[in-house]
Amino acid sequence: MTSNADPLAALIGHEHAVKRLNAIAHDPPQSIVIEGGDADSRVALALYWAMRLNCASGSIPCGQCPACKQIADFAFNDLIMFDGREGLIKVEPVREMRGTWGQPPNGDGHRVTVFAEAQMFMTESANALLKTLEEPRPGNVFVLTAPQRERLLETLVSRSWVVTLAWPDVRQNNPEIDEWTRALVNFWSSGRGWFGRTSAKGAVDKHLAMQVVLGMQRELREALSGNCATPLSNTMRQQHDPKSLRRIGLILDQAQEALNTQVPVNPAMVLDWVATRMF
């Protein structure tokens, strides 16, 4: 990365995730997982988080103060980076940091340790981090990025606050998700043919529910932009006015929020809630 490239440029289009982080910055969780998007946008959000917690403004990163600038250059002394994009994250360097994590940060903000593309953890490294998270680490916070939370050790995810970036802008959903979004849109106009899908035992797990919500958001973006590059977004555009389309956007945001919380939710019920609110 050259020093004049804007490391946060990859966050364009991810305002929703940025907003979610801003909302928790006054009391940052010990560990967050960033999934979705692509590797660049995940790392950019991790850097944003480091700036948000260390910027001299104490608020939205100014991009100008020493902390913001040094974080952008990966040269900040309260930023520790393990980069899985460069290969496996081995256990020795993780163990070596345990003394540092036991200390408060050097500056007035938080020490932020980023494990970029943490699916590249060796099992021992993940376990070493898990041990670290089991002890209080005042002033230290951790970020793990991965394409999907399922790629990480479950015990790490369950200790973390998860933020999901919109998946890369693939216009066409995969066939399975396409079938679900079609059924939702069909229910929206006819009031039929939905509950049989979600009531089948084991039909919907959290991952599928999230994919359906994100798939609907993708179709909605197409419909609202007027591009209507998919048949389904075209149908939505013809059957509903922009105001109702935007209302569905809010409902989907709330559903995504519910699926992201650590509180156990019934994923089938979240989808049913979306369907009935749409109708």
Using the minimum distance from each CB to Zn ion, give the nearer residue, 68 or 214: 68
Using the minimum distance from each CB to Zn ion, give the nearer residue, 65 or 133: 65
- Helix H or strand E segment including 216: helix 206-225
Residue 62 in the binding site for Zn ion (CB under 5 A): yes
45, 73 Cβ separation under 8 angstroms? no
> Residue with structure tokens 């994009």?
85
**Does residue 121 sit in helix, strand or coil?**
strand
89 DSSP 8-state letter: B
In the complex, least distance from residue 67 CB atom to Zn ion, rounded to whole angstroms: 5
In 37-148, alpha helices (H): 39-52, 66-72, 91-96, 98-101, 123-133
- Among residues 277, 274, 268, 270, which one has the least CA distance to residue 197? 268
> Residue with structure tokens 């913001």?
68
In the complex, least distance from residue 34 CB atom to Zn ion, rounded to whole angstroms: 21
Distances (CA, A) of 206 to 147, 149, 170, 182, 267: 16, 11, 21, 19, 5
Residue 55 in the binding site for Zn ion (CB under 5 A): yes
Using the minimum distance from each CB to Zn ion, give the nearer residue, 48 or 121: 48
Using the minimum distance from each CB to Zn ion, give the nearer residue, 65 or 91: 65
Q: Both tokens of residue 112?
A: 């932020």
> Residue with structure tokens 């979240």?
270
Contact characters 108-127, Zn ion, x per CB under 5 A? --------------------
Stretch touching Zn ion by CB under 5 A, among 30-38, 57-65, 190-198, 209-217: 57-65
Residue 65 in the binding site for Zn ion (CB under 5 A): yes
**Does residue 173 sit in helix, strand or coil?**
coil
In the complex, least distance from residue 19 CB atom to Zn ion, rounded to whole angstroms: 18
Contact characters 5-44, Zn ion, x per CB under 5 A? ----------------------------------------
241 DSSP 8-state letter: -
Distance CA 68, CA 53 (A): 10
82, 116 Cβ separation under 8 angstroms? yes
In the complex, least distance from residue 54 CB atom to Zn ion, rounded to whole angstroms: 8
Stretch touching Zn ion by CB under 5 A, among 1-9, 67-75, 142-150, 223-231: 67-75
Stretch touching Zn ion by CB under 5 A, among 68-76, 92-100, 106-114, 251-259: 68-76
Numbers of helices and strands, H then E, in the chain: 13, 5
Using the minimum distance from each CB to Zn ion, give the nearer residue, 73 or 134: 73
Site for Zn ion (CB under 5 A): which residue of 32, 68, 183, 185?
Answer: 68
Using the minimum distance from each CB to Zn ion, give the nearer residue, 76 or 115: 76
Stretch touching Zn ion by CB under 5 A, among 62-70, 91-99, 120-128, 264-272: 62-70
Note the residues at the interface with Zn ion (CB under 5 A). Answer: 55, 62, 65, 68
